[in-house]
Structure 1
Amino acid sequence: MDNLERLGMGQVLVADPMSIWYLTGYWNVPYERFYALYLARDAKARTTQATLFCNRLFPDASQTGARVVTFDDTEDPVALVAEATRHGEPLGVDKVLAARWLLPLMDARVASEFHLGSPAVDDARSIKDARELDLMRAASATNDQAMAWLRSQLHEGVTEHEIASGLLAEYRRLGAQDHSFTPIVSFGANAADPHHEPDGTRLRAGDVVLFDVGCKRDSYCSDMTRTFFFGAEPSERDREVYETVRRANEAAEAIVAPGVTFAEIDLTARRIIEDAGYGSYFTHRLGHQIGLEDHEPGDVSSTHDEPVRPGQCFSIEPGIYLPGEMGVRIEDLVIVTENGCEVMNAYPKQLTVIE
């Protein structure tokens, strides 16, 4: 709520199920039904009123500590929200609140103004406490182990889809519960597509192999990319591409520290790739924040001028993508510490040829 007050608002309607879970410990997937947590700050008393709006079909929410307002499919939840909000004050609304609910709330004038309130919760989620950091480390350690399994699956003729489809069982064997995103397995020219979806492409000698994978363990996400060469020594040009990406990755990680901006971190990696002549082939931001979700607000890009802060977790993932030929990406997750950063991934990054 302190974050909300800095935004000039004393009340917010949170509709993101993950943010509601973060704030209350209550998990629910509402599908098309209305679901929201209303928070209102009493500035004088320094207290917060919490009201959770739940369809009667949802799991019991009585243990959240919030006042629970229930309704069924024939009732109008907008009228119930209108009874709770302070109509004469601005209301922060969540970025995922559907227009089918937001527009009727605006028509009902449940607040004097409507503003984006998500940054208040996003900022709180951005700074991980000690327990969260330990869970992030555990998820990344599991991902390191899974990368060793992925490498062991490589043999001539195996398809991208065959490897990707077996990864979930390996994650679960290692103690994780799920993927944190759909795994990317790319052979040869497919690696030039940063978000390639695994298909029936078969591995051949001389291919580059790119794995971009992550698991969810105890609710927290991991994300890592490693690139290998299969069956033959890389050409001079391919070796240059790989080493350029590796240098960019390591140089960016080396400058992460409180006070350094996200934009400066992005520029450090981008300049190395540009100086090597591959700037136009680095086609995305350097990274993204991560936690309960794989991609969380606050990217590592040239337009994000905020300084990083201790407890933040984000990816460092430079890449070079040569259309129709090959691509290389190397990605780690880092935690910002009081005087630098901790790289959560221990899997090696030196150029590796798999025979």
Structure 2
Amino acid sequence: MPGPRRETCLPERRRRLIVSDEGAGVLITRLASVRHLTGFTGSSGVLWIPNPGLGGRPVLVTDSRYEEQAAREVDEEIGVAIASRGWPREMAKVIAGSVKIPSGRPAGLGEVEFDPNALLVSDFNTLEAALGPGFPLTPNRELTEDLRRTKDREEVRAISDAIVASEQALRELRASVDWSKRPAEAEVAARLAVLLRLGTGEAPAFEPIVASGPNSALPHHTPGSRRIRPGDLVLFDFGARVDGYRADIARTFLAAGDPEPWQEALHRAVLEANAAARSAAAAGEECREVDKSARNALDRHGLADRFGHSTGHGLGLEVHEPPSISRVSEQRLMPGDVVTIEPGAYLPGRGGVRIEDVLVIGSDRARSLSTLPRHLLPLQPEKRTT
């Protein structure tokens, strides 16, 4: 199990956040971004970062449940304020008290930027009323969109550790389950979730997907009572979490017996799509071109219309982060991106295959963090002979 780490890159991350010289500061309300900038892991926290030219220091507003935790987790550059009647009113006091706006200020100097995608309307209304006209709330959709996109060394290490733990959990699952007893999908998913938690001490990155037989044709199937039978394709999509950073891996196995020709062909096509997209992923490449490379590979097998979702996405403190590797993406890959490559093909009523890997985009090449075999393997691993 990975041991606890104290993040050393937090001040540098805050310095990368561009605070406009023309406003009072920025309000960070998305919990993942608060954690990224402060190290705070509680479920209630909002961060204020003032304009450096106006004085004051960053302040985290949380509630009494997390008073001691915040004192332990945030670094000395961050102040902590405890809200007793909801964070918006306390934050209004923090903003008004931390920003020294000179008399005769230019228009807009009191503007408070926020991400409209991460603020409830009710909280907006309360905060706006508490701040008054001197601090107008200004939406900025780009404020946090790419804030966490470029991963530093500690983030890459955490994601890599999460992937190592994920792969170990799957190996333990395959070896410990008696597949001849035809366990139910839900039972297998529950066991996998326990192994993921035991491996890192943290909750899984998301609820594991275990989809067998015709259910494997449902990309985001919820594991149910169906029992895994010989001859089934069995799709696993799962991930562990380390220091809040998530893994996201998918592999497809054969429950038992020999694969049917259509299963081999389907798996081979997706394997080629995965390899094509991984080869295309490089700094400066258009994300939609990476997506296109996967679709072209499937098209050569007549399966382009059986691949509906995107080829990949960014990965970090949240499962889905920028960039988006899709047909409509206007982004390019850049050094420091950590992305998934997850093409799939799904035949309704029969079965589906998805093969997902995690890549780190470097300045000269992309490196895969996932190491599990990609070819079609039986669920029951072969016993090693000594």
With the length of structure 2 as denominator, give the TM-score of the two structures: 0.81
Distance 1:303 1:311, change over 3 A: same
Secondary structure of the structure 1 residue equivalent to 2:58: strand
Provide Cα deviations, 1:134-157, integer angstroms capped at 9, x if missing partner: 221111111122222233333342
Counterpart contact for 1:4–1:10, Cα < 8 Å: no
Whole-angstrom distance in 1 between the partners of 2:256 and 2:230? 4
Partner of 1:257: 282
Partner of 1:20: 34
Whole-angstrom distance in 2 between the partners of 1:326 and 1:8? 56
Partner of 1:66: 78
The 5 Å alignment of 1:147-296 reads 147-152=170-175, 153=177, 154-296=179-321
Distance 1:283 1:9, change over 3 A: farther
Whole-angstrom distance in 1 between the partners of 2:248 and 2:320? 10
Distance 1:80 1:279, change over 3 A: same
Residue 41 (1) aligns with residue 51 (2): yes
Whole-angstrom distance in 2 between the partners of 1:323 and 1:42? 57
Provide Cα deviations, 1:52-80, integer angstroms capped at 9, x if missing partner: 22334432445542233333128934642
Counterpart contact for 1:155–1:203, Cα < 8 Å: no
Partner of 1:103: 125
Whole-angstrom distance in 2 between the partners of 1:297 and 1:212? 20
Counterpart contact for 2:267–2:353, Cα < 8 Å: yes
Distance 1:7 1:96, change over 3 A: farther
Whole-angstrom distance in 1 between the partners of 2:118 and 2:259? 45
TM-aligned CA deviation for residue 110 of structure 1? 5.5
Distance 1:206 1:104, change over 3 A: same
Whole-angstrom distance in 2 between the partners of 1:213 and 1:276? 27
Secondary structure of the structure 1 residue equivalent to 2:33: helix
The residue type equivalent to 2:57 in the other structure is Q
Partner of 1:91: 112
Within the candidate set 127, 130, 141, 2:153 is matched to: 130
Partner of 2:9: none
Specify every segment of 5 or more residues in structure 2 that has no aligned partner in the other structure, as ranges.
1-14, 102-107, 381-386
TM-aligned CA deviation for residue 252 of structure 1? 0.6
Counterpart contact for 2:20–2:51, Cα < 8 Å: no
TM-aligned CA deviation for residue 132 of structure 1? 1.9
Structure 1 stretch 4-13 or stretch 304-313: which is displaced more? 4-13
Counterpart contact for 1:244–1:272, Cα < 8 Å: yes
Provide Cα deviations, 1:257-289, integer angstroms capped at 9, x if missing partner: 111121111111112112322122111111121
Counterpart contact for 1:14–1:37, Cα < 8 Å: yes
Whole-angstrom distance in 2 between the partners of 1:196 and 1:110? 50
Secondary structure of the structure 2 residue equivalent to 1:125: coil
TM-aligned CA deviation for residue 323 of structure 1? 1.5
Partner of 1:115: 139
Which of the pair is proportionally richer in strand?
A: 1
Secondary structure of the structure 2 residue equivalent to 1:124: coil
Identity score, percent: 28
Q: Cα RMSD between the aligned structures?
A: 2.7
Secondary structure of the structure 2 residue equivalent to 1:39: strand
Specify every segment of 5 or more residues in structure 1 that has no aligned partner in the other structure, as ranges.
none
The residue type equivalent to 1:221 in the other structure is R
Distance 1:160 1:50, change over 3 A: same
Partner of 1:51: 59
Distance 1:301 1:8, change over 3 A: farther
Whole-angstrom distance in 2 between the partners of 1:330 and 1:100? 42
Residue 320 (1) aligns with residue 345 (2): yes
With the length of structure 1 as denominator, give the TM-score of the two structures: 0.88
Partner of 1:331: 356
Partner of 1:311: 336
Counterpart contact for 2:166–2:240, Cα < 8 Å: yes
Q: What number of residue pairs does the alignment pair up? A: 348
Residue 351 (1) aligns with residue 372 (2): no
Whole-angstrom distance in 1 between the partners of 2:372 and 2:79? 47
Secondary structure of the structure 1 residue equivalent to 2:26: strand
Partner of 1:29: 43
Whole-angstrom distance in 2 between the partners of 1:193 and 1:51? 45
Whole-angstrom distance in 2 between the partners of 1:220 and 1:266? 24
The residue type equivalent to 1:142 in the other structure is A
